[in-house]
Amino acid sequence: NPLASISGSVQLIAASGSIPEADKKLLGIVMRETSRLDNMVTEFLKYARPLPPNKSWFPLNQLLLDQITILKGDERFNLIDIHTHVNEQIEIFADRDQINQVLWNLIINAAEAMPDGGDVFIDLSWGTPLLNQDSEQVKNVNLSIRDTGGGIPSKMAEFIFEPFFTTKSGGSGLGLASVFRILEAHNSSITLDSSQGAGASFQISIPVPEKNAV
């Protein structure tokens, strides 16, 4: 609310015809930075006060393809080619909105790692069955998101899911921390395979219960 008040007040001042052009440019900077700060606060609140997953069955492959369709219209993807290997109808039992946030963060991260263009490879398939807490086998979905960017140095990779750690200029350091927390709440895992100059690959494993057991 305070940020909304600041932004609204600055916009009203900027709309005044008596403001010199140089001052309008300064007010434009204030509005832009206020918007950036608002996004950072929103990310922080999502991380600090996570909602428990509201799980339901939905096709992960369709959610992924819809996400890609939307992101292709983002200017950050003007020089990016997205390659998918999603051949099966794969349903999971999870919070659709939270998993959507995971996909969004990871695919956006991949694009931002390649400002001069590159490729993103996304693979979705059934994995090797996992053992649950009762030592029973459950189905498992593997999702891989890989880019051809500059990669992440090994000394930084071990901290990549830590809150407030970021390799981006102006980044909040909460995107991947939120991804990790969401997947943890779904009893799922995420790992990073990367080295400097060789791109980055995020591997996600999501357990899928039997429908009659939910």
Q: What is the pLDDT of residues 28-76, one digit of tens each?
A: 888 888 887 777 777 777 766 767 899 999 999 999 999 999 888 888 8
What are residue 143's DSSP bridge partners?
Answer: 124, 204
Rg (CA), the chain: 20
CB 126 within 8 A of CB 141: yes
Longest dimension (CA), the chain: 73
In the predicted model, what is the mean pLDDT of the chain? Answer: 85
Query: Mean per-residue pLDDT for 13-31?
Result: 81
Look up the pTM and report it.
Answer: 0.75
- CB neighbours of 52 closer than 8 A, spacing ≥ 6? 185
Query: Mean per-residue pLDDT for 156-160?
Result: 80
